[in-house]
Amino acid sequence: MSKVVFGVDLGGTTVKMGYFSPEGELIEKWEIPTIKDNGGSQILPDIAASIKSKMAEKNISKEDVIGVGIGVPGPVSSDGVIYKAANLGWGVFSVKSEMEQLLDGIPAMAGNDANVAALGEMWCGGGKGYNNMVAVTLGTGVGGGIIVNGKILTGGTGSGGEIGHIHVDDNETETCGCGKKGCLEQYTSATGVTRLANIRLKKDDKPSQLRNGEVNSKTVWDAVKVGDSVAIDVANTFGEYLGKGLACVADVVNPEIFVIGGGVSKAGEVLIDYLKPSYTKYVFHGSKETKFALAKLGNDAGIYGAAKLVLDK
Ligand SMILES: [Zn+2]
C-alpha cells in the first residue's frame, strides 16, 4: 500500500472528507453530518471514527497515513489552535492535539477553512504552478485566503485574508454583517450583486430583462451576457469595487495570481473582464501583470487544501 493523506473540511452542516495520494490524486471522498450537540464536543470524535472506519474498510494501516488535515470555520493559528468557532459551539483549544489523540498518534494539522481552500486551489486547482496566490471567494459573503511563498498567511489571531471587509466606499449608509459600512462584501458577494441590481433598477425605468423575474447574481450575469444595458451597469459597478479591493490586496501581497471562486464566479471569465479595468487603474505598477483565474475545485477545494496542509508540514 502506498502512502495516503486525509483531508477534512468541517462545515456547519456537513463534514466533507477525502483521501489523496501525496501527488494530489483524490482517491475517494465522502461526507458525514456535523452533529453540533453538547457544544460541538462530538464533532472531532465523529471525524476520527469515520477516518478509522475508512482505513479499516480500505485496508489502510496507520503507517500508510502521512497525516490528517482539517479545515475549520473559524480563526486558527499556525500551530493548530482555534480561537472560537461560534457556529460549532467551540471555544479555544488545539484542534491539532485533540485530533492526534483521537487518531492514536497519526499526525494532524488544522487551518481556517477559507485559507485551507486557497491552499487546495494552489495545489491542484486554478492556482496550480504558482507560489504566491490570493484566493477570493465570492459567495454569500466574501472570503479570502492569502498564500505567500507557498505558505498560508494566518496572521496573529488567524484573521489574515479577510478581503471581504476591506473598505471600498465612504458613502455607504447600509451596515455590513461585520458592523462596518462600505465593505467590499456589500457589493461583490452574491447578496451584494443582488443589492446593486435592485438599487440600479430603482434608479430609472430603463428596460431590462431583470424587471421580468427574479433578481439574483445568476440572473444579473445572464443578462450581462446578452447585452442588457442595466445589467451591464451593475457589472461595471461590481467590477469597479472588486478591482479596487483587489488592487489594495495586491499592493500589500504582490501575488502572481488571483483565483476567484464562490457562487458568483459561476458567471465565468466575464467577471474578470469587468474587474480588470478598475484593478489596473488602482494598483501599483509592480502588480499590474498579476494574473486572474477562476477556481477549479469547487466544493472540494477544502479537502484538497487540508491534505496539502499536512504534506507541507
Ligand atoms: Zn464588513
Give the CA angle between residues 81, 74, 147 to the nearest 5°. 85
| CB of 249 closer than 8 Å to CB of 133 | no
Q: How far apart are CA 145 and CA 162, in angstroms?
A: 8
Q: How far is the CA of 201 from the centre of ligand 1 (A)?
A: 24
Q: Find, among 46, 23, 185, the residue nearest to 114 by Cα.
A: 185
pLDDT digits (tens, 9 = 90+) for 113-169: 889 999 999 999 999 999 999 999 998 889 899 999 999 998 887 778 889 999 999
**Contacts (Cβ under 8 Å, ≥6 apart) of 286:** 254
- Is residue 28's pLDDT more than 80? yes
Beta strands in 34-100 (DSSP E): 65-72, 81-85, 90-94
- Is residue 226's pLDDT more than 90? yes
pLDDT digits (tens, 9 = 90+) for 51-85: 999 999 999 999 999 999 999 988 898 899 998 88
- DSSP character string of 178-226: TS-SSBTHHHHSHHHHHHHHHHHHHH-----GGGGS--SHHHHHHHHHT
| CB of 67 closer than 8 Å to CB of 6 | yes
Domain ranges for the chain, please list them.
Answer: 4-120+300-311, 129-296
Q: How far is the CA of 188 from the centre of ligand 1 (A)?
A: 12
Query: Between 159 and 7, where is the model more confident?
Result: 7
Q: How far is the CA of 181 from the centre of ligand 1 (A)?
A: 7
Q: How far apart are CA 261 and CA 193, in angstroms?
A: 15
pLDDT digits (tens, 9 = 90+) for 191-207: 999 999 999 999 999 99
Residue 240, Cβ neighbours under 10 Å: how many? Answer: 20
Q: How far apart are CA 194 and CA 21, in angstroms?
A: 41
Q: How far is the CA of 60 from the centre of ligand 1 (A)?
A: 45
Q: How far apart are CA 61 and CA 54, in angstroms?
A: 11
Q: How far is the CA of 161 from the centre of ligand 1 (A)?
A: 13
Cα atoms in the 13 Å half-sphere on the side-chain side of 3: 13
Q: How far is the CA of 152 from the centre of ligand 1 (A)?
A: 22
Q: How far is the CA of 289 from the centre of ligand 1 (A)?
A: 28
- Fold of the domain built from segment(s) 4-120+300-311: Nucleotidyltransferase; domain 5 (3.30.420)
pLDDT digits (tens, 9 = 90+) for 257-271: 999 999 999 999 999
Q: How far is the CA of 182 from the centre of ligand 1 (A)?
A: 7
List the grid coordinates of 54.
Answer: 475508512
Q: How far is the CA of 156 from the centre of ligand 1 (A)?
A: 19
Q: How far is the CA of 142 from the centre of ligand 1 (A)?
A: 9
Give Cα 19 distance to the centre of its chain.
Answer: 20
Which residues are within 5 Å of ligand 1 (an ion), measured at CB? 165, 176, 178, 180, 183
pLDDT at position 1 is 64
- Is residue 177's pLDDT more than 90? no
- Is residue 230's pLDDT more than 90? yes
Q: How far apart are CA 2 and CA 21, in angstroms?
A: 8
Mean pLDDT of the chain: 95
DSSP H or E stretch at residue 64? none
Phi, psi of 228 (to 5 degrees): -65, 120
Q: Which one of 3.10.129.10, 3.30.420.40, 3.10.310.10, 3.30.1490.190 gives the CATH number of domain 129-296?
A: 3.30.420.40
| CB of 158 closer than 8 Å to CB of 76 | yes
The yes-or-no answer to whether 4-120+300-311 and 129-296 have a common fold is yes
Q: How far is the CA of 179 from the centre of ligand 1 (A)?
A: 6
Q: How far is the CA of 313 from the centre of ligand 1 (A)?
A: 32
Mean pLDDT of 22-29: 97
Q: How far is the CA of 101 from the centre of ligand 1 (A)?
A: 37
**Contacts (Cβ under 8 Å, ≥6 apart) of 263:** 138, 139, 140, 190, 217
Q: How far apart are CA 137 and CA 263, in angstroms?
A: 8
Q: How far is the CA of 43 from the centre of ligand 1 (A)?
A: 29
pLDDT at position 277 is 97
- Is residue 13's pLDDT more than 70? yes
Q: How far is the CA of 309 from the centre of ligand 1 (A)?
A: 28
Q: How far is the CA of 240 from the centre of ligand 1 (A)?
A: 18
Mean pLDDT of 98-113: 96
